[in-house]
Structure 1
Amino acid sequence: MDSLLLSKGIFPETFLRKTVDYILSVQQDNGCIPWFVGGKADPWDHTEAAMGLSIAGECEAAEKAYQWLQQAQLADGSWYANYQDGEPLYCEKRETNFVAYVATGVWHHYLISQNRGFLLRVWPMVEKAMEFVLRNQAPTGEVYWAVSEEGAPLRDALITGCSSVYKSLECAVNIATVLDQDKAAWRTGYHRLGKTLRHHPECFDRTWESKERYSMDWFYPILAGVYRGSEAKSRIQERWETFVKKDMGCLCVSDEPWVTVAESCELTMALLAAGERTKAISLYGWLHQWRDGDDGGYWTGYQYVENIIWPEEKTTWTAGAILLAADAITEHTPAARLFLENNLLPEAQVAQAAREVRA
C-alpha cells in the first residue's frame, strides 16, 4: 500500500508537484477549473482547486480562477450551482454555501500571497456574495441552503452547508477588516449562525430526512470551528468507528462501502483542529494509494466491497483537498492553520470610528 507520513516543516513538494500540474492541466484559459477535462464546474469545488494552486505557489493561476468567478457572478451576488463550457447547466437553484465559499478561498490566497491589490480587486465580488448569503439567513440563525430560480429562499438548512458558511463568514469579516470596511452585520450573522449550529439542531433537516448518515455532518462543524477542544474530541470519538475504514479512509455515508479521498482530507484537517494529530497523520497516509502515479491526480473514491475505483474520475477538487491537508499537517504556508483555529480579527479602527460618528 502506498503511504505518505508527514510531519511539521516537511512539505512533500516533489511528490505533490504532479498533483499541482494535474489541476493546472484541467484549468481552462478563462481561469475556470472544471472537475476534470470535459467535466462540469461548480463555484465551491472550483475554489477548492484554486486553494491548492495557492499552496503550491501558483498565484497567477489561482488569481485567474478568482477572476473567472468574478466575471461569472450574477447581479445578486450568487452563482449557479454548475457550469459547463462557461454556461450554467441548469438554473433551478443557487446554493448559499457555494456562494459563500469564495470568501474562504480569497482569504486563504491573501494569507499566502499578501497581495493587497488582489484583495482590493475581488472585494466587490466578496461583498456581493456575502450580502446574498446573509439575505438568506433565517431569523433563527441558520442560513437557508438555496434559493429558487426566482430568488425565493428554500426554507431549510444543512449542518454541513451552514458549517461551511460559518467559516466563510469568518474569512469575509477578516477581508473586510483588512480593507477597513464596516461590516458589523457580517459579524452579527457569524455569531448568530455559530450559536444556532451549536445549540439548535432543530433548525436543520426540518423538511427532509436527517443527513446524519453523511460523514461531513459529523466532522464539518469541527473543520469550520463550531466546536474546538474537548467538545471536538468528543465529537470525533462518537462516530470514529462508524465512518473511518482502517487503511482506506473516511466513508462518504455510513451505510455504503465507499471511501472518498476529499472527505478524508477534510477529516484530516478536522482531526488536527481537534488535537488528534496522530489520527490525522495516519488517515492522510492511507490516501495516496488512490493516486494516479502517471499524472498525479487522485481518484474521487473507492468501493471496497466490489474492489473498484468509483466513479472513474480524478477530480481537481480532490487534488485541492490533498494539498490543503498536506499544508495543514506540515504548516508549509501562512494559510496552513486556516481550518485548524478560529481567528476572527478585531474590528477595523475605521469601522469603529464610523459608528462612533453616526452615534
Structure 2
Amino acid sequence: MSLPWISGVLTRAQVRATGAAIVEMQEPDGALPWFPGGKTDPWDHVESAMALTASGFHAQARAAYEWSAHTQRADGSWPRELRVGRVVDVGVDSNFCAYIAVGVWHHYRASADEAFLWSMWPTVRAAIDRVLMFQRADGAFRWAADYRTGEMFDDALITGNASIYSSLCCASRIAAAVEVPVPEWDRALADLAAAFTRPTETFLPPSDHSMDWYYPVLGGPIRGAAGRALLDEHWDRFVVPGLGARCVDHRPWVTGAETSELALALESVGDVDRAAQMVESIQHLRDPDGSYWTGLVFADGKRWPVERSCWTSAAVILAADAISRATPAGGVFAELGSVPVPALDS
C-alpha cells in the first residue's frame, strides 16, 4: 500500500514515523488514548485508528476497532471517557457514538477487507440505532444523555451534528455494502441535511472555536461554492499565516489537530493548495520521533498543553492522505458531499 505524503512538506517515511508514534501510545487492549496514561474517548480513539490504517499499520488499527466492539455497551453506546481501561465518565455523547461508522468505512475502503466489515457491522448497527434516539423533530441531534437515567440534553451543537452527518453517510454506505436496507438511517440523514439549510433556527449559535466554522464543510452538509465561501468568510479570524489555525478565535494559540482538520475541509472543496499550506504551517509542532505536539501559544512561543497527543498526529496523517490520495481511503471525507440524500417525502 502506498503511504501518504505532501510534496515539500512530508515524506512517506515521515508519515510512517508518525503512525509508528501512534502505535507506541496504543494500550495492550487496543485503546488509543490522548497520550500514554491519559483519557480515551470513543471519537478520538476512532480518528487515531483511521490514521493507523492510512499509515499502513492495519493490524494495530484492527485491534483498535476490536476494542471499540468489545467496550460497546448493550445499548449501543460507549462511555464518554475511559482511562487505562477504567470508566471515568459514563455519559453518552451522540457524536462520539456515531463516529465508529466513519472509521469502519474508512478501514474497509483502505483494505477491502470484507471479513472486517462484516465483523464490525453489528457494532455499527447498534451504535447508529442508538444515535437515532437523539434526533429531534427538526432533524438535529441532541448532543448527550445521562446514561443512568436516560435523560437527554436538548441542545444541538453544529460541530457535533456536522460530524454525525458524516457518520450517517458512512453508515449508509456500510449498510449498502452488506446489503442490509436501513431506511430509517436514510430518513435521519435527509432530516439532518434539511436542518443544515436553516442552521440559525436549529443549532446553538457557533462558538468562538474554529471547529464550529469549518466542520459543516468537513462533515459534508455544506460543500461546493457554499463550502468555499464559508471557509473564506472566517479565514482571517482563525488562520495565523505560517503558524496554523487558532483553536479559539481570541486566543494566541494554534493547534495541530484543528489546522489539519481545516486542511481536510479545504481539500474536500477542491482547495488542495491551501490544504497543503495548512499542514506545512504546523510542522513546527513535529517532534523528532514523528509525533506532534498539541499546540503553540505563539504570543510567548511555548507549546501548550505540554503533550504530544495521539489525535493530533492522527489528524496530520489523515490530512496528508486526503491531499495525496495515496490510499484508497484518501477520498473518504471529500466523497461525503456526493452521498445521495433521499428526498424528505420519500
TM-score after normalising by structure 1: 0.90
Q: Contact conserved, 1:112 with 1:334, CA < 8 A, in 2?
A: yes
1:26-65 map, 5 Å: 26-65=25-64
Residue number in structure 2 paired with 1:111: 109
Counterpart of 1:234 (choices 223, 229, 236) is 229
Counterpart of 2:137 (choices 128, 136, 139) is 139
- Tell me how far 1:203 sits from its aligned partner: 1.6
How far apart, in 2, do the equivalents of 1:303 and 1:11 lie? 23
- Tell me how far 1:6 sits from its aligned partner: 2.2
Counterpart of 1:215 (choices 195, 210, 214) is 210
Aligned residues: 337
Q: Deviations over 1:250-309 (max 9, x none)?
A: 11111111111001001001111222222111111111110111x211001111112210
Q: Contact conserved, 2:206 with 2:213, CA < 8 A, in 1?
A: no
- Tell me how far 1:345 sits from its aligned partner: 6.7
How far apart, in 2, do the equivalents of 1:286 and 1:302 lie? 12
Structure 1 runs not aligned, ≥5 long: 348-359
Residue number in structure 1 paired with 2:163: 164
* Shift in alpha-carbon separation, 1:11–1:253, aligned structure 2, 3 A: closer
How far apart, in 1, do the equivalents of 2:341 and 2:187 lie? 13
1:187-266 map, 5 Å: 187-205=186-204, 210-266=205-261
Matched to 1:183, the amino acid is V
How far apart, in 1, do the equivalents of 2:301 and 2:259 lie? 18
The DSSP-based 3-state class of the residue aligned with 1:302 is strand
- Tell me how far 1:196 sits from its aligned partner: 0.2
1:334 and 2:332 aligned = no
1:263-274 map, 5 Å: 263-274=258-269
- Tell me how far 1:343 sits from its aligned partner: 3.8
* Shift in alpha-carbon separation, 1:346–1:227, aligned structure 2, 3 A: closer
1:312 and 2:306 aligned = yes
* Shift in alpha-carbon separation, 1:11–1:305, aligned structure 2, 3 A: closer
Residue number in structure 2 paired with 1:155: 154
The DSSP-based 3-state class of the residue aligned with 2:287 is coil
How far apart, in 1, do the equivalents of 2:334 and 2:184 lie? 25
Residue number in structure 2 paired with 1:321: 315
* Shift in alpha-carbon separation, 1:102–1:82, aligned structure 2, 3 A: same
How far apart, in 1, do the equivalents of 2:65 and 2:232 lie? 37
How far apart, in 1, do the equivalents of 2:329 and 2:338 lie? 11
How far apart, in 2, do the equivalents of 1:309 and 1:241 lie? 22
Q: Contact conserved, 1:11 with 1:330, CA < 8 A, in 2?
A: no
Question: Mean Cα displacement is larger for which, 136-145 or 211-220?
Answer: 211-220
* Shift in alpha-carbon separation, 1:346–1:81, aligned structure 2, 3 A: closer
| Identical-pair percentage | 39
The DSSP-based 3-state class of the residue aligned with 2:145 is strand
Matched to 1:57, the amino acid is G
How far apart, in 2, do the equivalents of 1:127 and 1:7 lie? 39
How far apart, in 1, do the equivalents of 2:191 and 2:121 lie? 23
Residue number in structure 2 paired with 1:298: 292
Q: Deviations over 1:299-344 (max 9, x none)?
A: 0111111221000011111111111000011010111111113243
- Tell me how far 1:65 sits from its aligned partner: 0.3
Q: Contact conserved, 1:54 with 1:109, CA < 8 A, in 2?
A: yes
Q: Deviations over 1:215-262 (max 9, x none)?
A: 111110100111111111111111000000000001111111111100
Residue number in structure 2 paired with 1:352: none
Residue number in structure 2 paired with 1:173: 172
1:10-29 map, 5 Å: 12-29=11-28
How far apart, in 1, do the equivalents of 2:273 and 2:89 lie? 43
Matched to 1:292, the amino acid is D
How far apart, in 2, do the equivalents of 1:22 and 1:54 lie? 13
Q: Contact conserved, 1:170 with 1:343, CA < 8 A, in 2?
A: no
CA-based RMSD: 1.8
Matched to 1:336, the amino acid is G
Matched to 1:338, the amino acid is V
Q: Contact conserved, 1:50 with 1:105, CA < 8 A, in 2?
A: yes
Q: Deviations over 1:77-100 (max 9, x none)?
A: 001111011121122x21100000
Q: Contact conserved, 1:272 with 1:280, CA < 8 A, in 2?
A: yes
How far apart, in 1, do the equivalents of 2:23 and 2:273 lie? 32
How far apart, in 1, do the equivalents of 2:116 and 2:341 lie? 22
Structure 2 runs not aligned, ≥5 long: none
The DSSP-based 3-state class of the residue aligned with 1:83 is strand
How far apart, in 1, do the equivalents of 2:117 and 2:29 lie? 19
Matched to 1:132, the amino acid is R
How far apart, in 2, do the equivalents of 1:115 and 1:312 lie? 38
How far apart, in 2, do the equivalents of 1:25 and 1:343 lie? 36
The DSSP-based 3-state class of the residue aligned with 2:92 is strand
Matched to 1:29, the amino acid is P
How far apart, in 1, do the equivalents of 2:244 and 2:228 lie? 19
Matched to 1:222, the amino acid is V
TM-score after normalising by structure 2: 0.94
How far apart, in 1, do the equivalents of 2:164 and 2:95 lie? 5
The DSSP-based 3-state class of the residue aligned with 1:218 is helix
